[in-house]
Chains A and B, each alone.
Chain A
Amino acid sequence: MDKPSIEELERIASQVRRDIVRMVHAVNSGHPGGSLGCTDFLTALYFNIMEIKKPFDMNGKDEDLFFLSNGHISPVWYSVLARSGYFEVSELATFRKLNSRVQGHPATEEGLPGIRVASGSLGQGLSVACGAAQAKKLNGDKHKVFVLMGDGELDEGQVWEAAMYAAHHKIDNIIATVDLNGQQIDGPTAKVMDLKDVKAKWQAFGWDVIESDGNDMKSVINAMKLAKSLSGKGKPVINLMKTEMGAGVDFMMGSHKWHGVAPNDEQLANALSQLEETLGDY
């Protein structure tokens, strides 16, 4: 199957953004800000970059794996999983509702295809991804392990335990990405906990660092291609990806306010008017 073009990916992303705002609006809860900011990235990963197999297999042998460490941006992941065929898009309507597989934060217990570990308590995903990457090496499996973290999430000490570990053990089949939106719950990261020179930090920990614009589909694709070409050379690779929280919906951009707040009816209508329905709403 041919990989979708940049234009096609952008059209998918537009639908994913519609799904996100509709999902959080329907239950008046959830996290639209980070979800919208990471939409282009996740769309590119699942529709272009990763080699994945269906039906879903928990062990994920001979395919690429993705872990969402910043589990609160579950809406974007759920939408991309559904839109890429892991489950019916109609199931997105059950997000955060009783008896649903589409839990508030990603979970495995209910058996939602596409998810391999629960997340939501921040700081754990890089460790899990490192473990999965080492299991791949033991299995002689040449595929890669992708993981996304938030920038506020980098406050967690466990991230840096895993960062040190990955370089020490030469885990060069992992491609991590940080959603550098400069925001977390209590405000800008620079005010809550300044990351200072985040590039120098990862370099000092022994990682190959690349930088990209996470809201420019071309930049996202090129960054991931570059990351793939850098992997397999003895060092873990990280993509520091600048994004705008709330990207694609003008009134949600530019602050931390929409980290975890759902739009009301009027705001939803406004948001949807900015996002073309390209694949049909669920």
Chain B
Amino acid sequence: MTKYTYTKTQDTRSGFGDGLLELGRTNPNVVALCADLVGSLKMQDFINEFPERFFQVGIAEANMMGLAAGMTIGGKIPFTGTFANFSTGRVYDQIRQSIAYSEKNVKICASHAGLTLGEDGATHQILEDIGMMKMLPHMTVINPCDYNQTKAATIAIAAHEGPVYLRFGRPKVPIFTPADQKFEIGKALKLIEGTDVTIFATGHLVWEAIVAEAELAKEGISVEVINIHTIKPLDVEAILESVRKTGCAVSAEEHQMNGGLGDSVAQTLALHHPAPLEMVAVNDSFGESGTPEELMTKYGIDAAHIIKAAKKVMKRK
């Protein structure tokens, strides 16, 4: 199987912006809303080409969620854009009632998720959003890992009928997935095949998992790396198939341990195939100001911590 390298870095939010632009050209029902963060969400190109299909909402996220729900009535496919924090916690009840319970075809697109937004600090670094969103019935939750995957996911969710939470980030990160890779909602991607331990990674932690695998391989440890871009619905079959082979797993994500991907993997294993699991995630704390790299190290969500977790979990087999 191919090992992964990269020549270019790019922010995942640009993948969203470019995906949205492409959707504008191919699907006349796609409309976009933004709460005073056009630049941050990379929505300007869409606005330039489709001004009549863009709605500036001002700093009023609750209203934006309701507007989006309403626009689906009549067949529009609204994409809302703001930071992940203001896309979820700020408007949980609006999403719950007007979008999820009402089964509205709204795409909640959330940038600057997690610690890697960096210097703005904990007020903006939401680490609970995946948990909040995956608990909502009818909601699909997606956390792509690089520019290409985010662009492909953005395009794919327009063709999916139902509410979606699409989570991406601020910093430039390696582009390592192929530009032409098909994005299938709910389908895990086996990036590297191995036999000793499985790493289930999502979002920015997928690249860290790839780095960890290369290090572990040098020590003779055979690591399987699986990219779980869709946290809900979870690809239970892919998880079980891999762990039946490797016998243990590590989950890796830029999110609280409570409520994140690790939780979902733990639930899957406990229900169907009990096996040791270590979770690389933020352990019940808020973040702080710093560079993305500093924060990932301090809060234990980088390649080094994945390596430690892999070695530990193998001993628990």
Contact = CB atoms under 8 A, between A and B. Distances in A.
Nearest to B52: A138
Interface of B is mostly: helix
B31 A127 contact: no
B71 A161 contact: no
A222 interface: no
A165 B97 contact: no
B69 to A, nearest CB: 5
A118 to B, nearest CB: 5
Nearest to B74: A135
B74 A161 contact: no
B66 A131 contact: yes
B1 interface: no
Given A165-B57, A165-B60, A109 B101 contact: yes
B67 A124 contact: no
B74 A158 contact: no
A169 B102 CA distance: 25
Contact of B70 (A58, A127, A157): A127
Interface stretch (A30-38, A59-67, A81-89, A270-278): A59-67
Interface residues of A, number: 40
B82 to A, nearest CB: 13
Nearest to A168: B58
Interface in B70-115: 70-76, 78, 93-94, 96-98, 101-104
Interface in A154-180: 157-158, 161-162, 164-165, 168-169
A162 B94 CA distance: 13
B74 A117 contact: no
Given A60-B73, A161-B63, A165-B60, A131 B68 contact: yes
B70 A132 contact: yes
A59 B74 contact: yes
A131 B62 contact: no
Contacts of A119: 97
A141 interface: yes
A119 to B, nearest CB: 7
Nearest to A159: B63
Nearest to B101: A118
B53 interface: yes
B244 to A, nearest CB: 37
B75 A131 contact: no
A169 B96 CA distance: 26
B316 to A, nearest CB: 43
A120 B74 contact: no
Nearest to A119: B97
B55 interface: yes
Interface string A101-121: 000000111000000111111
B74 A165 contact: no
Contacts of A128: 66-67, 69-70, 73, 98
Interface string A43-81: 000000000000000111100010100000000000000
Contact of B73 (A65, A126, A164): A65
Contacts of A164: 58, 60
B65 interface: yes
A165 B71 contact: no
List of 6 A-B pairs having minimum Cβ-Cβ separation, nearest first: A131-B70, A127-B66, A135-B74, A161-B63, A161-B60, A131-B67
16 contacts: A59-B74, A59-B75, A107-B101, A107-B102, A117-B98, A118-B102, A121-B93, A121-B97, A127-B66, A129-B70, A131-B67, A134-B70, A135-B71, A138-B74, A164-B60, A165-B60
Given A60-B73, A118-B101, A128-B67, 10 more contacts: A107-B101, A109-B103, A118-B97, A123-B62, A124-B98, A127-B70, A134-B67, A138-B31, A168-B58, A169-B55
